């Protein structure tokens, strides 16, 4: 009798919970915690929502242990899904594909009821500037804020193939706007930037294209759980109905969401959709190439290893100090490195950062570098130029004179105005790891784990740049070989580049070993200018030891002709089919 009474009470209590308004809270928040505790693993329910249903549904099958569960039985070609997992820090489907502890943008979005994923593209005019202007217009008021971006990809046109190549990417927004209001705003921005929906060809050329891919609504104010929405109206369908057939959308979207993000209608992860699409084509990348945008619609392409030629216009650099401190001599050297030696970019520096070097006055750094940049730009509008500086004033003056990239050996930490200045200029930044200053750095070479500590510091520098308004499609990292590193530290970093890439979310990487002291110690060659063979060996060996790299590399060297030859041979062997 007691058993029957207990059974009746249990049934009535369960019926009460089912009908009670608090059931959804129990279903969505309490049960995941309970099940995770029982299973002893990271269980992240995928919460999906449709307007035709009164509540949420939870797919309890989407549990994982570190993001590798889905591909336990089958690896995609080139391990691409693992690559996309490391781009966003592992990511789980229930949180929109993000590992909260490794978010690339620390944005306070607790007051934004919606999280939105957009595809962005352009194939007319200055493509990158069109995308940049569109996002600036979208986020100029308080209704929307950019949380993170993919990398940018140049892709062949689809559907209508007789048109220019597209620049494509994906972004995540936090917004207060419901779907139809956001759609109206996106259409106004497209019109403001010159797109005509009435006169244009469907799937034809356009200055800018802004498509809503997914929409998520916050479950409760201030909470971290979102439900993935679906919508079918005359003007808008969410999720976007053609995601699964578009590699140019899926690839950048994966870089934002991670592969475990679940499509709420197809009930399939984005990683699986991309994997299936690759199986229908002979080209893994479907013609897509990651790019680094430069001013005036120019790009560096990451489908090959790039060589950067060093141009020190200083009297005291460790290898070539005093050789190029006259403007015309420096300019001729720049032209030779680009036009004859095959350098992809010229790095102009006006301050020696050799170990023990003293700081240079800002005025002197400007005097050394700006006339050289101006003269190079007068002679060639094509040559990509970076300015090697730690100072925001020099960076701004150099970009105004014609430089395309800012290369900061302090990773943006020396000058508090550097990151905001580069964000305002809208150019790429190279973030290098170092400790102290050139004067003090070689007294700071002790690490418990040099690879992890450098990688974590670079990841923090990337986050700081993102917070300052520099999207990650404009970021490159540099482990800082020879800067606050001893011999073993340098060798460990070069041996484990793939680990650094994974921990920095596969940002492109610059490697600078050229003629440095540790190479002289290893080879017993005292003169820096005689270490070019060792330089080539260090770069080629480090790259060949990497397990898998699709994120892009720049090799910064004094002798680009030798390095370009080595790279051609290395890549012919590595990618022989």
Q: Which residues are catalytic?
A: 516, 556
Residues whose CB is less than 8 angstroms from the CB of residue 512 and which lie 6 or more positions away in sequence, other chains included: 478, 480, 481, 482, 555, 556, 557
What are the C-alpha distances in Å from 368 to residues 246, 336, 381, 408? 49, 20, 21, 17
User: In this structure, are strands 475-478 and 429-432 parallel, antiparallel, or unpaired?
Assistant: parallel
Bridge partners, residue 387, by sequence: 348, 406
- Which DSSP category does 513 fall into? -
Q: How many Cα atoms sit within 13 Å of 182 on the Cβ side?
A: 29
Cα–Cα dist 471/173, whole Å: 13
- 3-class secondary-structure state, position 412: coil
- What CA–CA distance (Å, rounded) separates 213 from 228? 11
Cα pseudo-dihedral 76, 80, 84, 87, rounded to 10: 150
Burial string for 551-576 (b: 16+ CB within 10 Å, else e) reads: bbbbbbbbbbbbbbebbeebeeeeee
Query: Measured between alpha carbons, how far is 569 from 388 in angstroms, rounded to an integer?
Result: 29
End-to-end CA gap in the chain: 77
* Contact of 186 with 209, CB cutoff 8 Å: no
């Amino acid at each position: 009798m007691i058993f029957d009474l207990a059974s009746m009470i249990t049934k009535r209590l369960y019926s009460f919970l089912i009908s009670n308004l608090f059931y959804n809270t129990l279903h969505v928040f309490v049960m995941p915690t309970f099940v995770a505790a029982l299973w002893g693993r990271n269980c992240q329910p995928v919460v999906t929502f449709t307007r035709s249903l009164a509540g949420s549904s939870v797919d309890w099958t989407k549990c994982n242990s570190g993001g590798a569960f889905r591909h336990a039985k089958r690896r995609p070609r080139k391990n691409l899904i693992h690559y996309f997992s490391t781009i966003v820090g592992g990511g789980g489907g229930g949180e929109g594909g993000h590992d909260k502890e490794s978010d690339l943008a620390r944005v306070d979005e607790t007051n934004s009821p919606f999280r939105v994923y957009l595809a962005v593209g352009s194939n007319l005019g200055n493509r990158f500037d069109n995308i940049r202007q569109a996002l600036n217009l979208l986020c100029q008021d308080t209704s929307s804020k950019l949380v993170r971006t993919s990398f940018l990809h140049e892709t062949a046109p689809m559907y209508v193939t007789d048109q220019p190549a597209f620049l494509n990417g994906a972004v995540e927004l936090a917004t207060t706007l419901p779907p139809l209001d956001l759609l109206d705003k996106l259409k106004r921005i497209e019109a403001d930037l010159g797109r005509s929906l009435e006169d244009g060809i469907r799937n034809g050329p356009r200055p800018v294209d802004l498509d809503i891919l997914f929409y998520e609504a916050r479950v409760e104010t201030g909470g971290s759980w979102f439900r993935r929405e679906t919508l079918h109206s005359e003007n808008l369908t969410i999720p976007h109905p053609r995601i699964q057939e578009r590699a140019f959308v899926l690839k950048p979207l994966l870089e934002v969401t991670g592969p475990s993000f679940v499509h709420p209608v197809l009930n399939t992860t984005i990683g699986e959709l991309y994997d299936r699409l690759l199986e229908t084509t002979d080209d893994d990348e479907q013609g897509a190439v990651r790019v680094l945008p430069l001013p005036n619609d120019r790009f560096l392409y990451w489908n090959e290893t790039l060589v950067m030629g060093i141009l020190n216009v200083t009297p005291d650099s460790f290898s070539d100090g005093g050789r190029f401190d006259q403007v015309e001599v420096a300019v001729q050297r720049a032209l030779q490195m680009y036009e004859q030696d095959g350098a992809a970019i010229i790095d102009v520096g006006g301050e020696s950062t050799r170990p023990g070097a003293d700081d240079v006055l800002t005025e002197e750094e400007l005097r050394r570098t700006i006339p050289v940049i101006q003269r190079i730009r007068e002679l060639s509008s094509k040559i990509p130029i970076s300015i090697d500086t730690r100072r925001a004033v020099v960076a701004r003056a150099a970009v105004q004179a014609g430089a395309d990239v800012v290369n900061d050996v302090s990773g943006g930490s020396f000058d508090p105005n550097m990151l905001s200045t580069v964000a305002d200029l809208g150019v790429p930044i190279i973030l290098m790891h170092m400790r102290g200053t050139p004067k003090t750095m070689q007294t700071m070479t002790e690490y418990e784990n040099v690879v992890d500590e450098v990688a974590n510091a670079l990841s923090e520098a990337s986050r700081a740049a993102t917070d300052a308004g520099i999207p990650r499609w404009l970021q490159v990292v540099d482990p800082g070989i020879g800067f606050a590193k001893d011999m073993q530290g340098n060798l460990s970093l070069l041996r484990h580049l793939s680990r650094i890439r994974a921990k920095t979310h596969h940002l492109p990487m610059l490697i600078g070993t050229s003629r440095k002291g540790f190479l002289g110690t290893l080879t017993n060659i005292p003169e820096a200018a005689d270490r070019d063979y060792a330089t080539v060996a260090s770069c080629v060996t480090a790259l060949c030891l990497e397990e898998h790299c699709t994120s892009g590399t720049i090799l910064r060297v004094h002798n680009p002709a030798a390095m370009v030859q080595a790279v051609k041979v290395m890549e012919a062997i590595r990618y022989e089919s």
